[in-house]
Every structure is written in C-alpha cells, then in structure tokens.
C-alpha cells in the first residue's frame, strides 16, 4: 500500500524495539568512529521518551563492554534559570539516567547551562555552538516531540536558521511539564535550546514518539507541509531523519486511520466496520442510508464490490455494531472479577458504569489499586487532615506524645518544603491514606464493601517523585500473588496509553508480566481507557449503555475523590474536572452511536476484550521510506517492521 502522504521515513514498532534499534545504531556509530581514528558525537535528549534507549546503552556497557570513554555528548536543552543540582534540571536527569552508569568522561559531557547570569547567556550559547563544531559535529541526534511540534525547545515560530539560544516556553509546553514541577506555576518560563539549524546539521536524526497524546502532532509533522509553527516539520528536509513511533502515536496517520484513500487494502471485518463508520460520519448519513454513490465517491469502491450493493454491506456492519451493545442483562453474572486500577480513582472514572452493573449482577469483585497515587495529593490536603487529627485527639483526649510529635513533624516539614522536594515518609503515608479512604468511599457508592478494595502499593511507584522506577520482579510478584489468590475469570485493566506520566503503561506492564507466570486458566481481559481518551467505536468490542441515573451514580463515585476535585495536580491538557471529562466522553460515544442509526442511549462506556496474552495493538506493522529518498536511505532505519 502506498504511504505517499508521509513526507519523512517512518518506522512503527513497539517502544522496546525502538529503544533497542536506536541503541544498536549508537553502538555501531561508537565503534565505527573509533575504527576510523575518531570519536562518536551524540546528541541526547531528556524526558521519558529516551529513557528506554539509555537503559539499553547501560545494558550494552555492562554486558557487552560497550566503551564510552571517548564519546562526546551534547544535550538539546535545559530550563532557565536552573541550577545543575536541582531535581528538575536536565543536568541531573542525564547523570541519574545515563552518565553515572557508563564510562563517559565528565569533560566530554556538554549540557546547556541554566545557571549562568542572564547577561552571559548569549556568550554561553555561542560557546555551545563552537564546542559542537570543534567536536566535529553530531553523528546522531535523538529527539522527542512536544504537543506543539517542538523539537528541543524550539517552540512555534522558530526559524530553520535558528541556533542555540534562550527561548520563552509555550503555554502548552509548560502545562505538559507541570507534573514534573508539581504545578504549572513552578515551571520555568524560559529555556536554553539547540536551534533548528543546529539539530539539522546532525548526520543522522532519530525522533521518537509514543502514546495516543502524540498522535495528532505526529500526523502533522509527518504528513503536513513544513511550517515554522511546527518545528518538527523541518525534519522533512533532512536526508537521514527517521521518525520512530509506537502504534498509539501512529494512530492518526492516514495509512492507519483511513488507509483506503491510499489504495488497495486487505479487508477484514474490523476494517469494514471502521470504513463504514468513517463513511457514515463523513457523509452525515446513518449506516443503513448509505448508497452506492457514497462508497464510490469516497475511495470505497473496492469494499462495495465485495458485497455488490450497499444494502448487504450496510446491513452486515449495522448488525455487527448492534452486537457490540450490551446492557446489564448481557453482561457477566456470577463471575470472579479483578479490576485493576492504576491510580485510586481510575476504576470509577473509566469504568464506573460497568463496575456498578457488575456489582448488581452479583459478580465476585475485587478492585486492586496498583499505586497509592500519593504524589497527586496537594500539601494543603495533608495540612487539613493533620489539623483534624490534632482536634480529634484533643476532643477525645487520645493525643499522646508520639501522635503529637508526628503531627508536628508533618507540619514542620510542609512549612519548609521546597518546590518539587520529595515528601518525608510520614507525609507520603498520609497522602496514601487519603487516596485509599477516597477509593473505598468511591466503590461504596455502588453498594460495594471496603473489603473488596485491595491496595497493592507497587514498589515502582514509591519514589516520592513524578518519575518512577522501572517495573521490577517485586511489582510483578505482588500482582501475581493476587491473581493466584483470586483466580479471576475476568480481568479489567487500563489500556489507556495517553496517561501523561506513564503510570498506566507501567501498571499494564506489571499485569502482563504476572499473567505470563500465572498458573491458572488465562482470564478474559477487558481493557478500559482512562480520563484522557475513549476507545473508537470501531475498535471497541463492547459498548455499555448508561442511563441518566447510572451516569449520575458514576459521577457521585468520582466526587468521593475529594483530593482530585476542583483542580487535579496532574490534569494533562484538559483543565476540566474528571467528572466533566467523563460526562462529555460517555455522552459523546452515545451520540455518535445514535448518529450511526443505532438505538439512542443517554451515555456509553467502551471496552476492548481479549484473551490474556493477546495484544490490543494493530495486527500489522508497516515501515515506510519516501521513494524520493531511497537513494539516501537513513542508516538508522534498520528496524524490521514485525510483531
């Protein structure tokens, strides 16, 4: 199939394969330059995107003896002002995530300085450019991409000739960083970044993007015209730039979203449903009212020819869509069910309607909260509870010296706490307890018992910081122990890859690791999505209708999470409260179903159902390179597009 809409070579594989591929290419460059009598020069990035690459490099250093002693590195950017020792600095990030674990020489490491006086910034930037030239130029530059399309911190309006400089950060960029800084107000308004021209001078470029929240900007960067407002589009001009994206980030690309407009496709029932839904929404006609001309005029003649006439095709898709709708009577009854909730409110936010119906159907339900969610509790909540504990103890004369000292310790810590500082252990415990109490209150809204709540408190989350540890054997063991104890027939898990801080992804990894060792019969897996995005109707296997009363009950359960109401600490790009997002999302799904000509419902939740071990990603993977760039194919584009 043609991928002519794509203006830059693109590889679509899982993130683990992306990390391995780029790490292998870096290892090749290091060895090649050394054999040539020179040294490799690497352009490095920060954030969650490259961490997997750095872990692979560390593994190669430890297990294969990959030598970094002569490697020179240049980082893309740094916040300004920012002291190197700050927990928010990219200087500290690089040492913690890479440099401390390999034998790179400190004098070969270059990171823009965020601590120079303002009057000296221009000189510092010129010196940075000079150092890159002196090193011989960058052999391979790793990039992420922001929601504005920025590479480095080259915000909208950055020119193709821009060089290393101080720049004001876009509102969207600062909002994206708010989680790391525990609030948007704490995010610096400026940064120092390599310029677009500096980046484009690298011999090879690998841009990496993962997650549904990057899908829209990836389509713009890959398929759109070059535009100063989207700095990543400049990469289309580079002879050896490759975009590496996972399935979620590739979802909006034409070859995945509407492949029939590019040419012949291999038709499956799922693709037929997807195409007919698209046609219905494009023409604003219900499924059963589509005619032959609608198909012919919208690149779908090959699909029409499979059925001869529109009527049989419309009917087949309509019946397939109707079969997805399951009211309470068609939902599981009397089953052993485990609901995994990454944070203590994802269960009611994402599947509150289903949870209510499962309880009414007398299923044996355990809700397993995988993390404490303690970092998402504001300090003022802890102050309020500490004050309550003091008053409660005084009123009932049960305050002892230990309790009083502990309350005083908590309050003194909060009084002196710096922005982003890791909470003292008693504060972490109080925040965890707040979230746990809210979670119990949430499921009690549906008539469930507190005993049905299990708090796994997985170790990977217990860093006290936004950035978490990798999933380890103990995380997997805890999940496995629960599965072995409960022997569930149905398991509900978060399939939401748009979670801004990645906890949903990591919790899913722990579940998958446990299921691979599970001794019982593989359970049926129901994937829900969180507060960020809903399953597409074509993707969903089950659509669960909710009445107005049932949606109200779901919102009441969300209201019980008082520490997350009014203003959540990590809202992503949506400032609305979670209940507002849920109401809009669930009602929108029902309205779309109605417009397709199916029965009208007040609201709907959507689920994808698989047997354990079956992935939820697309079955096929594709790698594309532009025909006009075949003669100068990027050396890094060596990944095989296979499952």
Dist. CA 278–CA 274, nearest whole Å: 6
* 397 within 8 A of 369, measured Cβ to Cβ: no
Question: Among the options 6, 155, 212, 223, which is catalytic?
Answer: 155
Respond yes or no: is residue 534 known to be catalytic. no
Residue 73's φ and ψ, nearest 5 degrees, are -125, 145
Q: What is the DSSP string of 39-63?
A: --EEEE--SSTTHHHHHHHHHHHHH
Q: Helix, strand, or coil here: 206?
A: strand
DSSP 325: B
DSSP 231: G
Dist. CA 257–CA 209, nearest whole Å: 17
Dist. CA 67–CA 619, nearest whole Å: 38
Q: Which residue in the block uniquely carries the two structure tokens 């759109």?
A: 224
**Token pair in block for residue 614:** 């079956």
Q: Helix, strand, or coil here: 8?
A: coil
**Token pair in block for residue 174:** 């600062």
* 163 within 8 A of 195, measured Cβ to Cβ: yes
In 3-state terms, the chain is what percent helix, strand and coil (to 5)? 45, 15, 40
Q: Which residue in the block uniquely carries the two structure tokens 């500082």?
A: 421
Dist. CA 372–CA 63, nearest whole Å: 35
Number of helices and strands (H, E) in the chain? 20, 18
DSSP 468: P
Active site residues: 155
């Amino acid at each position: 199939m043609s991928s002519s809409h794509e203006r830059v070579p693109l590889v679509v594989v899982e993130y683990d394969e992306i990390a391995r591929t780029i790490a292998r290419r870096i290892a090749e460059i290091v060895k090649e330059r050394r054999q040539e009598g020179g040294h490799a020069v690497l352009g490095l990035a920060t954030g969650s995107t490259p961490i997997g690459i750095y872990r692979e490099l560390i593994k190669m250093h430890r297990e294969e003896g990959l030598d970094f002693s002569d490697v020179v590195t240049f980082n893309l950017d740094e916040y300004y002002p920012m002291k190197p020792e700050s927990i928010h600095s990219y200087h500290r990030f690089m040492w913690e995530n890479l440099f401390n674990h390999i034998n790179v020489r400190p004098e070969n490491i270059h990171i823009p300085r965020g601590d120079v006086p303002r009057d000296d910034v221009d000189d510092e930037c010129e010196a940075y450019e000079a150092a890159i030239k002196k090193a011989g130029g960058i052999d391979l530059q790793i990039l992420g991409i922001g929601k504005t399309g920025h590479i480095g911190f080259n915000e909208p309006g950055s020119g193709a000739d821009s060089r290393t400089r101080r720049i004001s950060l876009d509102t969207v960029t600062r909002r994206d960083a708010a989680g790391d800084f525990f609030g948007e107000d704490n995010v610096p308004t400026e940064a120092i970044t390599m310029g677009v021209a500096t980046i484009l001078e690298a011999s090879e470029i690998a841009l990496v993007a993962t997650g549904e929240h990057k899908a829209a900007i990836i389509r713009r960067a890959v398929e759109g015209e070059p535009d100063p407002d989207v700095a990543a589009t400049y990469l289309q001009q580079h002879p050896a730039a490759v975009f590496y994206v996972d399935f979620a980030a590739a979802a909006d690309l034409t070859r995945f979203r509407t492949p029939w407009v590019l040419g012949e496709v291999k038709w499956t029932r799922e693709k037929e449903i997807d195409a007919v839904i698209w046609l219905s929404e494009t023409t604003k006609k219900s499924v059963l009212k589509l005619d032959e001309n609608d198909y012919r005029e919208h690149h779908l003649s090959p699909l029409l020819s499979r059925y001869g006439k529109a009527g049989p095709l419309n009917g087949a898709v309509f019946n397939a869509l109707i079969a997805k709708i399951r009211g309470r009577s068609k939902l599981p009854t009397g089953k052993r069910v485990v609901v995994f909730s990454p944070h203590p409110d994802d269960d009611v936010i994402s599947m509150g309607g289903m949870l209510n119906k499962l309880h009414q159907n007398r299923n044996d339900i355990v809700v397993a909260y995988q993390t404490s969610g303690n970092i998402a509790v504001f300090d003022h909540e802890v102050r309020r509870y500490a004050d309550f504990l003091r008053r409660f103890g005084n009123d009932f004369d049960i305050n002892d010296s230990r309790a009083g000292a502990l309350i005083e310790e908590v309050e003194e810590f909060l009084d002196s706490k710096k922005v982003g500082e890791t909470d003292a252990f008693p504060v972490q415990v109080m925040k965890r307890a707040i979230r746990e109490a809210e979670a119990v209150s949430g499921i009690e809204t549906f008539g469930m018992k507190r005993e049905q709540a299990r708090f796994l408190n997985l170790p990977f989350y217990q860093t006290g910081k936004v950035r978490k540890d990798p999933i380890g054997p103990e995380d997997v063991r805890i999940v496995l122990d629960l599965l072995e104890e409960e022997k569930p027939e149905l398991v509900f898990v978060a399939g939401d890859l748009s979670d801004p801080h990645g906890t949903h992804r990591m919790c899913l990894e722990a579940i998958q690791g446990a299921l691979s060792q599970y001794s019982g019969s593989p359970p049926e897996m129901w994937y829900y999505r969180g507060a960020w995005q809903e399953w597409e109707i074509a993707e969903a296997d089950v659509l669960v209708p909710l009445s107005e009363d049932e949606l109200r009950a779901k919102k009441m359960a969300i209201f019980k999470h008082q520490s997350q109401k009014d203003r959540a600490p990590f809202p992503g790009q949506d400032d609305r409260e979670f209940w507002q997002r849920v109401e809009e999302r669930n009602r929108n799904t029902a309205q779309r179903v109605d417009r397709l000509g199916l029965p009208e419902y007040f609201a709907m939740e959507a689920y994808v159902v698989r047997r354990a071990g079956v992935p939820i990603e697309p079955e096929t993977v594709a790698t594309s390179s532009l025909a006009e760039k075949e003669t100068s194919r990027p050396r890094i584009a060596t990944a095989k597009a296979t499952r």
